[in-house]
């Protein structure tokens, strides 16, 4: 994924918002190398664009509200409304974009997030052609090939679908350590 930063009123620390009709937005969405384009609008709503559609993601007290506006940029079937992180993982796990809504929400809650975030299409790389050292692979898109990670361990995990952030607190507990910091993950039930 690539993060683009724009100076707002001579200040790099303020996030630039977009109304979604700017030329740069339209040009990027039409670029064959770009799969998903994400930005914040003037109402602090996360807007998700692709050639397939456009949707809005809003942080609510009891979860995330997902609203496809023009088709669905992820091609999710019948996914909309107020959803918890667990519901998002469960309902999107077997799609081409598992857990993308949670990942986007967490990304845009980071102070280091760009003003525009770009996820590339398969077969495209968003880096310079001649970087040194030469890169042999890429990672970080919202596609399932980049999101799904095999888990091999000698304990049984009772949950059917998990996030990699859940492994750290789970392993700490298994080793009888307390986490020195607050983490995004939750402890999994293991036998």
Nearby residues of 16 by Cβ (< 8 Å), 6 or more positions away: 6, 7, 8, 115
Report the relative pairing of strands 46-50 and 53-60 from DSSP bridges.
antiparallel
Three-state DSSP string of 79-99: CCEEECHHHHHHHHCCCCCCC
Q: Per residue in 40-60, pLDDT tens?
A: 999 999 999 999 999 999 999
Does the pLDDT of residue 124 top 80, yes or no?
no
User: Quick one: pLDDT band at residue 131, thresholds 50, 70, 90?
Assistant: low
% the chain with pLDDT above 70: 93
Of residues 12 and 23, more confidently modeled: 23
**Strand, coil or helix: 120:** strand
Specify the pLDDT at position 181: 82
Does the pLDDT of residue 137 top 70, yes or no?
no
29 neighbors 49 (Cβ within 8 angstroms) = yes
Q: Per residue in 178-191, pLDDT tens?
A: 887 888 888 888 87
Tokens matching residue 110 = 């980071």
């Amino acid at each position: 994924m690539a993060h683009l930063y724009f100076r707002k009123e001579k200040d790099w620390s303020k996030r630039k918002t977009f109304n979604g009709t700017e030329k740069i937005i339209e040009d990027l969405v039409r670029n064959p190398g770009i799969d998903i384009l994400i930005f914040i609008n003037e109402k602090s709503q996360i807007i998700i664009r692709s050639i397939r559609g456009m949707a809005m993601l809003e942080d609510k007290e009891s979860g995330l509200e997902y609203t496809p506006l023009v088709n669905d940029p992820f091609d999710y079937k019948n996914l909309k409304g107020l959803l918890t992180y667990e519901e998002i993982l469960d309902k999107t796990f077997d799609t081409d974009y598992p857990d993308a809504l949670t990942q986007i929400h967490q990304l845009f809650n980071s102070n280091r997030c760009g003003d525009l975030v770009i996820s590339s299409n398969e077969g495209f790389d968003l880096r310079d052609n001649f970087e040194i050292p030469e890169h042999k692979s890429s990672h970080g898109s919202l596609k399932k090939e980049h999101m799904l990670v095999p888990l091999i361990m000698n304990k049984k995990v009772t949950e059917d679908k998990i996030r990699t952030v859940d492994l750290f607190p789970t392993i700490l507990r298994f080793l009888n350590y307390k986490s020195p910091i607050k983490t995004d993950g939750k402890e999994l039930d293991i036998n």
